C-alpha cells in the first residue's frame, strides 16, 4: 500500500486554524437570529390626553399573528423633554396590546416611548425584524386637538368635537365618543343591543349626538366606535 506523507507547512496550519475559527464563531451568530417564537414590535401609538400621554404597543410574531404574543411582558422607556427616562412594564392581554400612561401635567416638550424588550417563556425578543421600536409626540401646552373650544386638559372627548361636553352616564366620557353603554370598556354587540332597544326614544345615554332623540345619526356614531374602547378622555374614568 502506498502511503503519502502530508507536509503541514506553517501556511497550511494557519489556514486550518482560521477555518476552525470560522466554523466555531459563525454558528452562534446564525443561532441568535430569531426564526420561530419571535416577539416583534408591530406598532406604537401615542395619544396626548391633556395631563398624560397614553402609549399603546402591539407585538406580532414571525407569522404576523398577535395571538402568540399574549401574556408577553413588554418593557418600555419613557423619555421626557429634559432627557429623564422612566421604566414601565405591561403584559399583553386579551386585547393583544400593552398600554402605558405617563403623566405630564401638560408640561410642553417632546416625549418618546421606546420598546426596550419583551419577554415570554420560549420566545425571543426580535428588535432587528421589528417594524418600529420608538415613537415621539410633542406636547405644546394648552392644546385643543378636536378644536371644540375645550382645552385638552378638561375635554371628555379629546378627538371628537363636543363643545357641550354632555356625559349622560357620568363615566368621564362624553356621549359623542362613548357608545359603551354597559360600561365594560369596549363597544360591542351588548351595547348595540341596548341601542336597538332605545331606538327612536329620548334615551339620554344612547343619544350620542345629544339632539334629543336616538336615531340613525346616532347609529352612525356607534358604527364608528364599534369594537373600540370609549374615549379617549382627559377626565378620570375606569377604562383608561
Q: What pTM does this model have?
A: 0.56
**Residue 32's pLDDT is what?**
60
Segment holding 15, helix H or strand E: helix 10-32
**Residue 152's pLDDT is what?**
85
Domain boundaries, the chain: 38-139, 143-240
**Residue 25's pLDDT is what?**
42
**Residue 66's pLDDT is what?**
86
Question: For the structural domain made of 38-139, what CATH number should be given?
Answer: 2.60.40.10
Question: For the structural domain made of 143-240, what CATH number should be given?
Answer: 1.10.1330.10
**Residue 49's pLDDT is what?**
83
**Residue 1's pLDDT is what?**
47
**Residue 5's pLDDT is what?**
55
- On whether the CB atoms of residues 221 and 179 are closer than 8 A, the answer is yes
DSSP 238: S
**Residue 106's pLDDT is what?**
74
pLDDT by residue, tens only, the chain of 240 residues = 455 555 656 655 555 554 544 444 444 443 467 999 999 999 999 998 878 899 999 999 999 888 899 999 999 999 999 999 999 999 999 989 999 999 987 788 999 999 999 999 999 999 999 999 999 998 876 778 898 989 888 899 999 999 999 999 999 999 999 999 999 999 999 999 999 999 999 999 999 999 999 999 999 999 999 999 999 999 999 997
**Residue 76's pLDDT is what?**
98
Residues 38-50 as b or e (16 or more Cβ within 10 Å = b): bbbbbebebbbbb
**Residue 9's pLDDT is what?**
64
Q: Which residues contact 107 (CB under 8 A, 6 or more apart)?
A: 81, 139
DSSP the chain: ---------HHHHHHHHHHHHHHHHHHHHHHHS--SSEEEEEEEEEEE-SSEEEEEEEEE-TTS-SGGGTT-EEEEEEE-TTS-EEEEEEE--TTS-EEEEEE-TT--EEEEEEEEEEE-TT-EE-GGG-S-SEEEEEE-SS--TT-SSS-GGG-SSSSS--TT---TT-SSS-GGG---TT-SSS-SHHHHHHHHHTTTS--TTT-TT-SSS-SHHHHHHHHHHTTS-S---SS--S--
**Residue 141's pLDDT is what?**
67
Amino acid at each position: 500500500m502506498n502511503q503519502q506523507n502530508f507536509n503541514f507547512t506553517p501556511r497550511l496550519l494557519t489556514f486550518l486554524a482560521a477555518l476552525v475559527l470560522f466554523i466555531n464563531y459563525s454558528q452562534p451568530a446564525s443561532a441568535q437570529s430569531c426564526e420561530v417564537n419571535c416577539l416583534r414590535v408591530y406598532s406604537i401609538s401615542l395619544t396626548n390626553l391633556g395631563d398624560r400621554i397614553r402609549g399603546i404597543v402591539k407585538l406580532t410574531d414571525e407569522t404576523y399573528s398577535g395571538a402568540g404574543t399574549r401574556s408577553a411582558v413588554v418593557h418600555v422607556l419613557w423619555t421626557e423633554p429634559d432627557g429623564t427616562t422612566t421604566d414601565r412594564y405591561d403584559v399583553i392581554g386579551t386585547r393583544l396590546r400593552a398600554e402605558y400612561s405617563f403623566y405630564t401635567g401638560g408640561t410642553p416638550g417632546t416625549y418618546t416611548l421606546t420598546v426596550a424588550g419583551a419577554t415570554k417563556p420560549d420566545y425571543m425578543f426580535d428588535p432587528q425584524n421589528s417594524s418600529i421600536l420608538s415613537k415621539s409626540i410633542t406636547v405644546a401646552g394648552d392644546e385643543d386637538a378636536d378644536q371644540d373650544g375645550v382645552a385638552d386638559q378638561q375635554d371628555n372627548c379629546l378627538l371628537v368635537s363636543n363643545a357641550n361636553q354632555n356625559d349622560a352616564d357620568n363615566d368621564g366620557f362624553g356621549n359623542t365618543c362613548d357608545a359603551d353603554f354597559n360600561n365594560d370598556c369596549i363597544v360591542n354587540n351588548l351595547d348595540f343591543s341596548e341601542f336597538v332597544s332605545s331606538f327612536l326614544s329620548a334615551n339620554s345615554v344612547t343619544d350620542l349626538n345629544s339632539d334629543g332623540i336616538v336615531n340613525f345619526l346616532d347609529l352612525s356614531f356607534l358604527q364608528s366606535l364599534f369594537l373600540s374602547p370609549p374615549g379617549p378622555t382627559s377626565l378620570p374614568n375606569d377604562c383608561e
